[in-house]
Structure 1
Amino acid sequence: MTSLDHGDTAHNKNPLNKKLQKILNPKFLSDIDTQDALLALSDFFPENNVRSRRKLRSDTELRGLRLNEEFLASLETVNSALEQLSVEVKSIDSCYKDMTARLGETRERCAEVLEQTATLQKEMQQVEKRSLLLDAFCHKFQLSSQETQLLEQADEVGPSFFQALRKVQHIHTDCQTLIRSSDLHVGLEIMESMAGIQERAYENLFRWCQRTCRSFTGEFPVFTHELKNALQIVSQREALRVYVLDDYVTTRRSSLVRSFIDSLTLGGPGGNPKPIEMHSHDPVRYASDLLGWLHQAMASENELLVALLLQDIPDSVVSVDKSEIPMLLNRICEGASHMVKVRLEQILSNVIDSMDLFRISNNIRFYQNVYHGFLGDNSELLKFVADMYELSLKLFAKHLNGHASKLLESVSEPPFDLEPTIQFTESLTLLRSILSLENTSVAPLEGNRPLLHTIYESLVAPLIEYATISASLDSTLSQAELLIYQINCCDRLHQGLALYYSTGEETGFEKLLVQLQTHQDRLIQEQASFFLSKAKLNIIHMHYLTADKSYEGALSLYSGLESDSLLQAILSLQQLLALPDQHPIPQLDCLRSKKIRDYILGSGMRLVCDFYTSLHSSISDPSNGYGDLKDKLHQPSEIEHLLL
């Protein structure tokens, strides 16, 4: 390996080897400069021969000489151009110096002019600012000719009119600030000018509102946003607002009267509903249709007033008093209500049936409550309805009084079964019919005390009097039978009134209850007396009560209360206790109410037991001298068990 490396080194140091290597491996072929030189040489070395190679050097030098000559000629051209440029630069420099000198002289001469120019420019800027301020001032505190014409010659009112009027109001408000902060004279002049324009605008707006309100003659007028806005603005002048509403009320009142006449004679669209006059033969239906039409018209007009007066404008500054609506509604309905009143008076004066009168009275009272919801308390229309209701009550009471008079003129004796008579039953049926109608009325009965009092005084009280008179006609009846008859009558009357009346002296119902209780108490006494008489204790009872009040000695020494008399009476009582069917009064079965019958029998036996308890206590007292008589007596608890 070492010998081989040594051989390679000696080979490389051979000069001939280097030349061969240089010839065989030419590096110039990859050299860019060499390639460019060969390309340039190919231009004037077309053939590679001996002669060309010999002339190569001279040709190359000649070529370089020609190139240098061409370059020199080019430099001469450039040199001449530079010399001409130098001359021109010197001329420019001379001109510059001359101009500089002149400019200096001119600047010295124009310094004053420049100063004046700067001053004028500043003044121009101030004038421009003032012009802008003046334009802004005029825009803020003056109206355009178009806006002025729109406000002063307003045939039609629209958004542009309201916008111009709001601008006038803003200008008037801003002038107050202008007066406090700036020129007083200018502010007052502008305020005076705007006030004049505003007054003319208000007058034009007022006339437009009047014309618009007078056009609402139809059944369903439509209120535009412009009208609501106009009414809101006019409301800032209370007098103008009153005049506008007067025109509206007058127009609607006339329209309502025409509508009422059409409803009376023509009916609704296409004849449906039928004309109200077609039901004039039926007084109840006729009166109800009249009052119902007035209610419907009142509700419609109330909705129109609410839609007109209650503003829904976001920037509304005028508050509307809701209590004003009932007053306006009352004025609108005044004409139609007068016509309704006349017809109701005719109806009431011609009705001959008390039930019809009662139905009409109920309808009037119902609509009176309905109208009150629209009109409030102070209303002429409500006064007329109240007058009609009072008139109906008077006529109703007159009819009932006539019926009661006929009833009291034909009083008959009590029947054998002690039930109420036919006349009494018929009158009671009429009373129930009236109260059943009242009970089905929309208005509550408890809120109508005058009607209940009228019914009581005109019909209930005569029925009670009828029962009393009837009981006194038959002299053959016992006291118990008279009481049973009167209790039957009062109980039937009480049963008929209990569903409709509540206790209270203001309606008279309390008097009936007192009368019924009085008869029951008297019959209880009769029952107790009957039992004591059957037991032969009535004389003992009479003597005992007399002795208990005035006698101070032993009861056995009192006449009628001796031991033998008491013993016989007690034995008779014991025999009667074994016969319970003999306890009640025989006529007690004629009482139609089992509840009252049981109450009277039980209360009568309670009186007997109380008397026996008191008598047993007196007999058991040794100071009364009855000895061992008490051992032969039943205990009070035993008597109570047998009787109660």
Structure 2
Amino acid sequence: MASSGTPFPLGDRDERYPLDDARAQENTLLKSSHLSAKTAHVLSTSATDSDIKEVLAAFDSSIETNNADNRRRVRSQILLELATSNSQVINDFELIATQVHSIGSALRSLHETFDDIVRRVDVGNGEVITTIQESEVILAERLKLDHKESLLQAFLEKFTIPATDLDNITSSPQFLDDSFFNTLVRVKMIHSDCQILLGSESTRAGVEIMDQMTRNLNSAYQRVYLWLQRELKFLSFETPTGNHRVRRALEVLTNRPALLQSCLDTLAESRQRTLNESFTDALTGRGEADMKPIDVMAHDPIRYTGDMMAWLHSALVGELEALQAIFELSGSERLDDMPSASGVITIAPTDLDLRDHVRPLADKSLENALSAFRLRTEHVISSHEEPTLLYGLLNILTFYRETFKKLVGADTLLVATTDSLASTTTRQLQSCLRDLFRSVQQDIPKPTPDLSPPLFLHDAMGRFRSLVKSFEASLISDSYKSRAFDMIYSEAMKPYIQGCETLSKDLPSPQCHIFMVNCLEVSKDTLRLSGYGTENYMHIIEDAVDSHVLSIVTSLHNFFLEASGLSTILHVGNNDNEGQPESDLLTENILIESSKQLDEFLPTASSDAESQLIYLMRHSLKKTIIQTALNRFVDDFTVVKASLASHTKSSHLATYFPRTAEEIQILLG
């Protein structure tokens, strides 16, 4: 085994292989360069490299002694192995070359096949393109046909109706079911949608379809009209909620006002007969066994009229409720709600609303009953002349007139009839009151010596109180109350006050004024009993009382002046001094006489005044009048004393008229 420290002679060669000089030289150069490279590589390699260690270990195991033979042997083995390996590589590459040649042949065959396929694909592609183009044309035509078919189907669905459905709305009017109304809605929708066709290129189709739908609609409306005419003659208001087909049929005819009005007239005639019979039964008791007839039970004219008005009111309310139940359609029953061409629900315009016919129809249904009621009420009015009774009738008629006006409006036969009867009652009441006053005027009595109000005024005030009591118990509206009370005052009180004024003209003053004050006080006391606002009328009477009181005060004042002799002094020269005495014209005799008369007057002045007003009924007013007259007298006395004191030439005359104003006030109390 060679020592690891002995270097391996890399440049040794076998001398048995001689080389020529050129090759030897070339080999020498190569060997030299190779050797230098190896040397550099060996020198650059570290002895501690693991790979080097493994190579050296393997090399050391293959030779035992590092000598030339072993090295040659190893070299020859290596070369042999290298040659064997190269030979094996060449053999392997030969196989590879064979396989590559086979692959090349296969590739050439594949290329030929591919080229053939490409040629065939190109041919097929040309054929497929032609087929695709033809299929595209066919598909386009098919799409057009499908579109036309869908348009035709949509057109047929939108603008045509099955024959069975058409027969349903054009056949004889035996019965109207839901299918009839659904078909009618369909026909109306088609008729409305024809406007779209008229605005497009399909004008002819639109005109033809519209004409056909118009004929169908006319037939349907005629069928509805005939069916309604038959149904309305026997329509029961006992169960109005069950008449939904009648309700829908009436709604259909809102587009045909003439047909609708004819049907409503038929319904009104039917209801007139029914309500007239019911009213007659209520009056005579021919209906139910337990019914109390109005003609028998209502002996009092006011109750008789009130019972008839109450029946009319109840019948009117029943008619309104029944008609509203029939004429007011629910949302699911209305025929106006139709989908338009765009699919949006729209409301078809109608000129009429069934609800507008409720009040006029209810009013017209009571026409016959109103005629009987009018005749009976007019007989009651004309056969009674008692003002209180007539005013009670007027209150009832006025109350129900306002009630009917709220229910059916002012422009109705029911309100007009009630208003006419109220006017008749008012005229009858006014005529009775005026007849009573004329009877008083024909035999009017003279005033009594005690100047008390006449008997006819007390009777009139009693009648006025009865009328006011009936007025306050009435339920008339506030807007009518002022006119009603004015009528009562003008007819039941004012004429009698004027009659008292006529009587007072035959009496001297102050008796005439005392008489009128007594009469006016009675009238004022009567007015105070009314709870209604009588302020205006109270002011009128109080103004008249004040006027007469002023006249009484003036008369009593003149009496004081005459009785006291003060008038003689005041009348001297009063034309030039405006009521003040002319001192130059006064004499001692005039003053002495007047002073003596004044002294005689003063002790009895109050009692004399009381005697003048003994028949004045209101004591508080009597005291006021006396006190006012006395105050005026004292004022006149003060004027006389001031006049006498202001003239220096006649200052001595004041001694003949010694009383002072303070003394006069004390003596007169």
Does TM, scored on the shorter chain, surpass 0.5? yes
Q: Secondary structure at the match of 1:585?
A: helix
Aligned to 1:347: 380
Q: 1:597: which partner in 2?
A: 622
User: How far does residue 417 in structure 1 lie from its aligned partner after superposition?
Assistant: 4.3
How far apart are the structure 2 equivalents of 1:456 and 1:382? 27
CA distance in 2, matches of 1:624, 1:224: 115
In structure 2, the residue matched to 1:557 is 584
Q: Contact 1:168 / 1:198 at 8 angstroms: preserved in 2? A: yes
* CA-CA distance at 1:545 after TM superposition: 4.5
> Which residue is 1:287 aligned to?
305
What is aligned with 2:270?
251
Equivalent of 1:392 in 410, 425, 435: 425
Residue 461 (structure 2) pairs with residue 442 (structure 1): no
> Which residue of the partner structure matches residue 89 of structure 1?
none
Match of 2:495 among 451, 461, 476: 461
1:334 equivalent to 2:352? Answer no
Distance 2:287 2:489 in 1: 39
Does structure 2 retain, via aligned residues, the 8 Å contact 1:408–1:466? no
Partner deviation per Cα, 1:297-341 (whole Å, 9 max, x = no partner)? 233333444444455548464463977655444322221111111
Return closer, same or farther for 1:216/1:568 CA change in 2, 3 Å cut-off: farther
**What is the CA deviation profile of residues 508-540 of structure 1, one whole-angstrom value per residue up to 9, with x for unaligned ones?**
x98766654443232122222233344332333
Aligned with 1:130 (options 148, 170, 176): 148
One of 629, 633, 648 as aligned partner of 1:608: 633
Task: Give, in angstroms, the shift of residue 147 of structure 1.
Answer: 2.8
**Structure 2 counterparts to residues 397-412 of structure 1, below 5 A:** 397-408=430-441, 411-412=444-445
TM-score when normalising by structure 2 = 0.67
Q: Any idea what the Cα deviations from partners look like across 1:548-586, whole Å, max 9, x if unmatched?
A: 3599xx81123xx54764577568768866778437332
Distance 1:225 1:540, change over 3 A: farther
Matched with 1:139 is 157
| Alpha-carbon separation, structure 1, partners of 2:203 and 2:166 | 24
Q: Percent identity?
A: 22
Distance 2:145 2:293 in 1: 81
Structure 1 residues 544 and 501, CA, compared in 2 at 3 Å: closer, same or farther? farther
Query: Does the 8 Å contact 2:568/2:594 carry over to 1?
Result: no
1:414 and 1:471 in contact (8 A); partners too:
no
State the match for 2:203 in structure 1. Answer: 184
Matches within 5 A, 1:225-264: 225-264=244-283
| 301-310 vs 142-151, greater mean Cα deviation | 301-310
Q: Would you say 1:358 and 2:391 are equivalent positions?
A: yes
Instruction: Note if contact 2:603-2:668 (Cα within 8 Å) is conserved in structure 1.
Output: no
Is the CA contact (8 Å cut-off) linking 2:229 and 2:263 kept in structure 1? Answer: yes
The CA deviation at 1:180 is 2.1
Residue 392 of structure 1: SS of its match in structure 2? helix
Contact map agreement 1:480 1:526 (CA 8 A) in 2 = yes
Q: Partner of 2:522 in structure 1?
A: 492
The answer to whether the 8 A contact 1:400-1:459 is kept is no
Q: CA deviation at 1:612?
A: 4.0
- Which residue number corresponds to residue 523 of structure 1? 552
- Give the unaligned 5+ runs of structure 2: 1-116, 338-346
Moved more, 590-599 or 255-264: 590-599
Partner of 1:4: none
Residues 583 and 135 of structure 1: CA distance in aligned 2, closer, same or farther (over 3 Å): same
In 2, the alpha carbon distance for the partners of 1:304 and 1:542 equals: 90
- Counterpart of 1:584 in structure 2 is 609
Q: 1:113 to 1:529 in 2, by over 3 A?
A: closer
Structure 1 counterpart of 2:465, from 432, 435, 438: 432
Q: Distance in 2 between matches of 1:606 and 1:293?
A: 69
Equivalence for 1:22: none
Map Cα deviations across residues 201-244 of structure 1 (whole Å, 9 max, x no partner).
Answer: 22222333333333335466446444334323321222222222
Q: Deviations over 1:476-498 (max 9, x none)?
A: x8743443233212221232245
Q: Deviations over 1:56-101 (max 9, x none)?
A: xxxxxxxxxxxxxxxxxxxxxxxxxxxxxxxxxxxxxxxxxxxx9x
Question: Taking structure 1 as reference, are residues 574 and 308 closer, same or farther at Cα in structure 2, changes over 3 Å only?
Answer: farther
Structure 1: which amino acid aligns with 2:426? L
Q: Deviations over 1:329-373 (max 9, x none)?
A: 432222111111111121122224332222222222322333333
Among 294, 298, 315, the alignment partner of 2:316 is 298
CA distance in 2, matches of 1:573, 1:223: 102
Q: Which moved more, 1:486-495 or 1:378-387?
A: 378-387
Q: Distance in 2 between matches of 1:610 and 1:323?
A: 79
Counterpart AA for 2:154 = A
1:528 is matched by which residue type in structure 2?
A: H
Q: What's the Cα RMSD here?
A: 4.4
Counterpart secondary structure, 2:510: helix
Q: Give, in whole Å, the separation in 2 of the partners of 1:593 and 1:325.
A: 62
Which residue, 569, 572, 578 being the options, matches 1:540?
569
Q: Residues 323, 157 of structure 1: CA spacing in aligned structure 2 closer, same or farther, 3 A cutoff?
A: closer
* Aligned partner letter, 1:540: I
Residues 422-471 of structure 1, C-alpha deviations (whole Å, 9 max, x = no match): 44423321232122222322225964647744763466424542574388
CA contact (8 A) 1:412 1:470 kept: no
Q: CA deviation at 1:261?
A: 0.9
Deviation at 1:250, TM superposition (A): 1.9
AA matched with 2:510:
A
Please tell me the residue identity of whatever aligns with 1:593. Answer: R
Change (3 A) 1:344 1:161: same
Shift of 1:291: 2.2
Q: Does 1:172 align with 2:199?
A: no
Once the two structures are superposed, residues 383-419 of structure 1 have per-residue CA deviations (whole angstroms, 9 ceiling, x without a partner) of 4333323332333334334433443455445455433
Tell which structure's C-alpha radius of gyration is larger: 2
Separation in 2, partners of 1:303, 1:640: 82
Distance 1:621 1:206, change over 3 A: farther
Contact 1:413 1:470 in 2 (8 A): no
Q: Secondary structure at the match of 2:255?
A: coil
Q: Contact (CA 8 Å) 2:637, 2:661: kept in 1 or not?
A: no
The one-letter amino acid paired with 2:208 is E
Could you say what secondary structure the match of 2:176 adopts? coil
Find the aligned partners of 2:199 and 2:505 in 1 and give their Cα distance: 99
CA contact (8 A) 2:517 2:545 kept: yes
On the 8 A contact 2:244/2:326 being kept in 1, the answer is no
Segments of 5+ residues of structure 1 without an aligned counterpart are 1-99
Distance in 2 (alpha carbons) for counterparts of 1:624 and 1:121: 150
Q: How many residues align?
A: 533
CA contact (8 A) 2:191 2:213 kept: yes
Letter in 1 for 2:437: A
Give the 3-state SS of the residue equivalent to 1:419 in structure 2: coil
In 1, distance between residues paired with 2:417 and 2:619?
50
